[in-house]
Structure 1
Amino acid sequence: MTSTTFFRKPGGFFQSYRAALRQIRGIALLYTAILAVVLPLLMTLTVTQARSNFSYYSSEMPMEYYLSSQASSFLYSILSLFVLPLLWLFALIFTVSLFRYLHDKRSVDLFHSLPIRRETMLLSRLTAELTALVVPLLAMLIVCFAILLCFGIPMQAVQDGMLDPGLLWLRALFLIVNVFALIGLMIFFLICCGTVFDATVSTIAFCGGLPLLLALSLSYLGSALPGFCGSDLPRFVYEGMNPLIGAFSLANEPVVPWLLWWLGYGAVLLIAAVLLYRRRASEAAENAFAFPLPRVLIRFLVSACFGMCLGLLIHGIYSSFPFLLGALLGAFLSHLAIEMVYRRGVKNIWKTMPSLGVVAGLFVVFYLICATGCFGYTSRIPAVEDVKSVTFTTSFGQTHSASFFTGTPQSRNYYGMMEPIVTQKENVEQIVALHQDIIDSYHAMGPLYPMSEGSVFEVSYELKDGSKLRRRFYSAAFPEGFLQELDRISLLPEVIENTTDCFFLTQDSFDTVSFWNSKENDEYQSFTPNAEQRSALIEALQQDFLSGMPQSSQYDERWFEMTLSYQGDSSLPAFAAEDSLAASLFHFDPNASLYLDSGSYLISSQHYPNTTALLEKYGWIE
């Protein structure tokens, strides 16, 4: 048996570091060559092509600004879409090459007989790997900046879209820190496992299993726990636990907290790897596991994922089949599969049945928590006097909801669409009563709530203490008469005035009115109304909406399509008072022009009586 204690030797770190660099120098040269082609060469070709095409695509922008924007677009895209996966690939190759001695009995005895401490050997090889990955990347980025200077491209973002060197270096730093976290994860599993195969399986299962388990759990919660909103789970839970998932979603928006998180993530894993490496026996090489932690973790992830997946799949195909039974069946099959992979067969697999029982017990507990309302989560409804405002949405849609944006029609900053919202106490009471009817409907179904599906009703309370309460329910649990009551609430004057587009228009919002006759199927006829006519038209539309939300008129015997436009565009200047609900919800930029997208109005005398009468009075329709 090889000793796990070693003597210190001055300079041992640098000797091991240089030896590790020599070991991977061939792979490092290949990696550097690929980076040289992807970054300096392709960027030179991109800028050269942009310079040739400048006269065709941009006549108003100075050439150096145009070239800067093209270089910026190329570098930002190539870092996220190609350089990041390339770093992951070579990080895997370097890690396996430098630490494969841990999984060969002859090699591990040789390395552990050297007069150098284990942690020194591990850290020196890690440093060599980071050097081989980071130095070529930074060198190629510096070459890229030198090439841009040769083309006369400014190294500062004078206007939007131009290359910002500070942001580019921040993105490069994010990639480096993210790869450091991934390397820490791989080294941790290489230390814990006795073979490269087991370490690879464990790393892939962890990176894929954790986000998949979260996604499947959210999918199940959405249908099994009445009232649950999937967005309640913080984004950090998805992206902060997995370097692969987090990098793809954050590479285009790196921020300092995430840099610190990935740095700490990798450091914690490396510290754990060093501590375990001190206790790792040399005899663990070529065995399944040096430590049981990865097997327990991966076995749970795989069993839980496949069990959840099979339960949801069977329930989706045949809704009467119990989800719990399908989940337990999937957990059993996946447990056998992962144990066969780790054990290279079925020998003594029965000894792992107690751990399967733990997974099955967790499934039962999870199912019961959801089916009973999660300790009052489903039944919670705020008191009316504590509510500041209530927003509710349905999957049935709404006619002419106001959708705001600022900027220009070509470059828009969307704020979103106004959803039905109420603030008046008597209207809040009606929403709360409707919410209570749904809860009572669930209570009437028995002690265990069934899984729900169908159309959606979502309600969001903004409370006076600043907190929010959101709940989502499906039509399978709607009580009798629910949809009729929801339609009645949707027609409340407060709801219509706060959500319908015509209530945000003024006489200056449009200058042209166009009509298309459904009977004659002729060309559009356009009119230019004066200020008085525009005001009267807005007032008539508002009266029709307040008298009852107009439905589609295209099935009526005779109808017209009416389109409002401003300077030839359907994007209409809008007005929202500073104390309006729209302004308080979206926090519009006071220095930017506010617009809304206005769809066509299908006008008929049955659904738009006031508007139809006014249009006939002006002679615009007959």
Structure 2
Amino acid sequence: MTSQPSFERIETELQPESSPTPPAKADDSSRGRAFPVYLHAFTRALTKSLGVSALGLAVLLLLIPVSTAFIPGKSIFDENYTHNQMQYRFYYESLTGVILAAVIAFGAALAVVLFRFMLVKRSSDTYFAQGITRVKQFGLRLLIGVLMLAIVLFIPIMVSLMMNVSAFSGLGYANIAISGAGYMYSGFLIMGIAAFCITALICCMVGTITEAVFFSLLALGAPSIVLYGANSLMKQLLFGNSFGFSASTGTVEVGASLLDKLSGFNPVLFFYQAAKDYCAQYTRFDGFVQPPMHIPLLLAWVAASAAIAALGIWALSKRKAEIAGVSGTNRILGTASTFLLPLFGFAVVLEYGTDMGTGYSILAASLTFIVFFLITELIQKNGSRGLSRGILKLPFGLGVVLVAVVILVTGGFGYSTRIPKIDRIASVQMSYAGSPNYLDGQVGGVSTGGSYYVMSNYTFTTQSDLKTITELHQKLIDGGKGKLALDRENFTDTTVPYDIIVNYTLTNGSHLTRYYDRTKFSVLSDFLALDKTEAVEKQTRRTITGTTESQYWAAGAFRNGLVYLANSNYTNPRQVILSDSQRKELLGHIADDVEAQSLEDRYFPKDQALGIIMFTQDGGQESLKFGYRLENSIIYLTPSFKDTLKYLQDTGLYPYLENTEEIESITLQAYDPYVGMNKSKDPKSPFFLGYIADNDREFIQTKDFGANPIVSDPSKMDELAPLLKNDYYMSGGGYLACVKLKNKNLYVYKFLPAADAPAYLADAGEHQH
């Protein structure tokens, strides 16, 4: 009973308003008794984090400062490597992804170590009986986690910064390096804290360490899995989709993937691009401008991490102590994993199984979904018990994915068929499928032997041009996504690989981009109409006459290239030396003739070429094979080049075009884009351009089986020779021709259009004529 008088005395002392000191003493006494408990808990948790922190520090020291200065031949102290152009480098650039993965793994591992106490039955009872509230338990470990992340990340970045200051301060780059280091450190720290908070939340929701690790990895990867899965379905099934595609040349990104576009919302990717941009800086001469620091994004992730931590506190406050050591207690995470992993499997099989065809790849992907679902359910149910109830979720999950498949295959609610109205279009960029001999600007491509492929875009703004573009776009849509195979009934309906980008800029400033990786020959033939648009005609004249600023591709060849004349069999090429005024006059005549040329004359000439003029920036012997090269431009002089031919006659150069060669034999191979066993998915230009070789096996496509017909009868050769074309658009089919010249080890490759081919060539069994 001694406590009662004491209680009354305290109450009596509290009554006077003028003496508030005793309650403060009581609070001080309570805090004094609690402080050792908090200190003990803090120290113990801190001690447990030292092992994983030491390991994280060792890994990051190896990845950051060691890669900065100690890789032979790539050290920042090696002037032969930096060339006095490097301003700083915190680590070797190609290690960006590895370093970010290490930061995320360290943050997650730190959280598992610090919150492990609630996942083991014995330690859970002990910690919850310490007299520290759950909120404060969480707060103590959050504080330790942030502290250890801050220290462990600071040390390697600071060491790297000091080395950079030592290496480049004499060049005046110290301030740039310091600001870059501050940004990198902030980004890494916030990314590590986000991973820590997500893992801490998961630890508060599950019952075992295994579940904590598994579900934390799943939670961190969930945005990537969902976005990758969605993008994979769109790439394979949505006709016209541009997300996640690069052109086949590898030089043009058509559209960023959903992962890239939405990386700011992804805990493992939000700082990836910034880390790539700011890990090193160089003095640039290509116009590259360092992107701005995305401070608002970092602040947003600070706020997101705080919100996730608050959810973790709430989850911990609601957590039942008895679930420690017990698996399968969180249905939300279990259900999420049951569908996320099968979705990932579905997307991977769909993306890499396209060779099977759309139908078979969807079937294979669906089977993969079912297998992944069953495996995940079996693991979560610790065997077959309970699987019968869990399997009831399978039709729902797979059904959702298959509904998405149907939506995408049928056009994505109008995505595939949408063409803006002309009055809403400010400009359009569209891929060009015509002659490469007049291209200028951003051109990418490859050329090997007689085969080549180039890619270039033109920008169109006038009303007449926009009308042409929208009509061509509609033809692309109508052509559909056909199977990459020869159409034996109608050659022009054959679908072939080809990169076509249509990028609308609308009057409201927004963009609408569509990408097509294939189309029919008939559609490519329709695309030749671009040559008669105002934009292409204007650019073609400027390219030929040398009034562009470009020093590359055709523009550079016309302006500065060597000039060669040759006959239609490319024999005895002669270099012609022209004064500036003579070159200007010649190019003016060529420009006038090209502008006056009809599409029929340019791409489907009725007459054989009288000779050629080649402009080349590559003076080596390779150019004298006359196969198309990005550095060359070749003019095939048909009778439609009236002004140019008259200029050659007036200047005495016309005799160089005379052809006196005799033909020994002609080998023919039917043009079939899929003639080989290993059908190539790489696009090739259907605009044939002639070339020469020293053997008869240099056709633009390799035929694996069967002999080619050889024509050696003089009368038949006399009939065929005038029909062979040096340049021709092959959309209507025909024959690749190898002409063996008499008394020369020289083979001339030309094209025989199907419309001109003699009837006897249709006999596939006839090989000698």
TM-score, normalised by the number of residues in structure 1: 0.74
Q: 2:318 aligns with which of 268, 279, 287?
A: 279
Which residue type is aligned with residue 356 of structure 1? L
Show structure 1 runs of 5+ residues with no match: 1-6, 406-415, 444-451, 566-596
Residues 1:488 and 2:520 are matched in the alignment: no
SS in 2 for 1:466: coil
Higher relative contact order (CA 8 A, sep 6+): 1
Match of 1:179 among 184, 189, 192: 192
Number of the residue aligned with 2:561: 513
1:281 and 1:320, CA in 2 relative to 1: closer, same or farther beyond 3 A?
closer
- How far the C-alpha of 1:239 sits from its partner, in A, is 1.7
User: Is the counterpart of residue 602 in structure 1 residue 634 in structure 2?
Assistant: yes
1:10-159 aligned within 5 A: 10-11=34-35, 14-33=39-58, 54=79, 66=84, 72-75=88-91, 77=93, 80=96, 83-146=99-162, 153-154=169-170, 156-157=172-173
Q: How does 1:223-234 map to 2 (within 5 A)?
A: 223-230=236-243, 231=255
Q: Deviations over 1:25-71 (max 9, x none)?
A: 244345445555665667565899979854x679xx8xxxx4xx657
* Structure-2 change in CA distance of 1:417 and 1:13 (3 Å): farther
The CA deviation at 1:306 is 2.0
Partner SS state of residue 457, structure 2 = coil
Contact 1:395–1:456 (8 Å) recurs in 2 = no
Query: Aligned residue for 2:6?
Result: none
Q: What RMSD over aligned residues (CA atoms) do the two structures have, in Å?
A: 4.4
Task: Quote how far apart the aligned CAs of 1:347 are.
Answer: 1.3
Match for residue 509 of structure 2 among 449, 466, 470: 466
Distance 1:314 1:73, change over 3 A: closer
The code of the aligned residue for 1:242 comes to N
Q: Which has the larger radius of gyration?
A: 2
Deviations along 1:305-363, whole A, 9 cap, x unmatched? 2234445555531445383x444433222111111222222211111123222213312
SS in 2 for 1:244: coil
User: C-alpha separation between the residues in 2 aligned to 1:152 and 1:327?
Assistant: 54
**Kept in 2: contact 1:225–1:374 (CA 8 A):** yes
Deviates more, 1:455-464 or 1:262-271: 455-464
Residue identity matched to 1:17: F
Q: CA deviation at 1:104?
A: 0.9
Distance 1:215 1:126 in 2: 31
Question: 2:225 touches 2:340 (CA, 8 Å); kept in 1?
Answer: no
CA spacing shift, 1:350–1:398, aligned 2, 3 Å: farther
Aligned partner of 2:267: which letter?
Answer: P
- Compared with structure 1, are the counterparts of its residues 142 and 210 closer, same or farther at alpha carbon in structure 2 (3 Å cutoff)? closer
Which residue in the other structure is 1:563 paired with? 616
Task: Give the match's secondary structure for 1:228.
Answer: coil
With over 3 angstroms needed to count, the CA separation of the structure-2 counterparts of 1:106 and 1:149, relative to structure 1, is same
Paired residue secondary structure (2:371): helix
CA deviation map 1:192-228 (0-9, x unaligned):
2222222222233344454244234223223433333
Aligned to 1:251: 275
Structure-2 residue corresponding to 1:381 = 419
3-state SS of paired residue (2:268): helix
The 5 A counterparts of 1:535-550 are 535-546=584-595, 547=597
Alignment match, 1:447? none
State the alpha-carbon separation in 2 of the partners of residues 465 and 232 from structure 1: 21
CA distance in 1, matches of 2:98, 2:222: 24
Going from structure 1 to structure 2, the CA distance change for 1:434 and 1:57 (only over 3 Å counts) comes to closer
CA–CA distance in structure 1, aligned partners of residues 523 and 68 of structure 2: 60
Gaps (5+ residues) in structure 2? 1-29, 244-254, 278-292, 444-453, 482-494, 619-628, 657-769
SS across alignment from 2:305: helix
Q: Which moved more, 1:112-121 or 1:419-428?
A: 419-428
Q: 1:70, 1:461 → 2: CA distance?
A: 38
Equivalent residue for 2:405? 367
Matched residue type, 1:21: L
Deviates more, 1:248-257 or 1:350-359: 248-257
- 1:333-412 aligned within 5 A: 333-393=371-431, 398-403=436-441
Q: In 2 relative to 1, CA 608–255 (structure 1 residues): closer, same or farther, beyond 3 Å?
A: farther
**Residue 239 of structure 1 aligns with which residue?**
263
Contact 2:232 2:350 in 1 (8 A): no
Counterpart pick for 2:235 among 222, 242, 247 = 222
Q: Which residue identity does 1:354 align to in structure 2? A: L
Cα distance per residue 1:117-158 (max 9 Å; x no partner): 112212212221232232143244444555566668249538
For 1:24, what is the secondary structure of its paired residue? helix
**Counterparts of 1:507 and 1:307 in 2: how far apart (Å)?**
50
Alpha carbons of 1:497 and 1:605: their partners in 2 closer, same or farther (altered >3 Å)?
same
Give me the whole-angstrom Cα distance separating, in 1, the residues matched to 2:140 and 2:651.
86
- Contact kept, 8 Å, 1:513 with 1:562, in 2: the verdict is yes
Q: CA deviation at 1:165?
A: 1.3
Deviation at 1:371, TM superposition (A): 3.7
Structure 1 pair 80–296 and aligned structure 2 pair: CA distance change class (3 A): same
SS of equivalent residue, structure 1 residue 251? helix
| TM-score, structure 2 normalization | 0.61
* Counterpart amino acid of residue 343 in structure 2: A
Identity %: 18
CA 1:89–1:563: 2 relative to 1, 3 Å: same
- Shift of the 178–112 alpha-carbon distance from structure 1 to 2, 3 Å rule, reads same
Residues 437-456 of structure 1: matches in 2 within 5 Å?
A: 437=475, 454-456=497-499
Q: Would you say how many aligned residue pairs link Structure 1 and Structure 2?
A: 551
Using the TM superposition, give the Cα deviation of residue 260 of structure 1 relative to its aligned residue in structure 2, in angstroms: 2.1
Change (3 A) 1:19 1:540: farther
Question: How far apart, in 1, do the equivalents of 2:91 and 2:110 lie?
Answer: 25
- Note closer, same or farther for the CA distance 1:220–1:453 as it changes in structure 2 (3 Å cut): farther
Q: Secondary structure at the match of 2:413?
A: coil
Aligned 8 A contact 1:46 1:71 in 2 = no
Matches of residues 169-208 of structure 1 in structure 2 within 5 Å? 169-208=182-221
Distance 1:226 1:36, change over 3 A: closer
Amino acid at match of 2:635: I
Partners of 2:202 and 2:523 in 1: CA distance: 54
> What is the alpha-carbon distance in structure 1 between the residues aligned to residue 435 and residue 267 of structure 2?
38
The one-letter amino acid of 2:217's match is: I
SS in structure 1 at match of 2:418: coil
Q: Aligned partners of 1:80, 1:507: CA distance in 2, in Å? A: 40
Equivalence for 2:286: none
* Equivalent residue letter for 2:634: L
- Counterpart code for 1:352: G
Task: Give the aligned residue type for 1:529.
Answer: S
What is the identity, as a one-letter code, of the residue corresponding to 1:563? T
CA displacement 1:362-408 (0-9 Å, x = unmatched): 12432332244333333433333333333322678855432259xxx
Please name the residue that 1:300 is paired with: 339
**Is the deviation greater in 24-33 or in 107-116?**
24-33
Is contact 1:604–1:612 with CA below 8 Å preserved after alignment? Answer: no
Distance change in 2, residues 1:217/1:544 (3 Å): farther
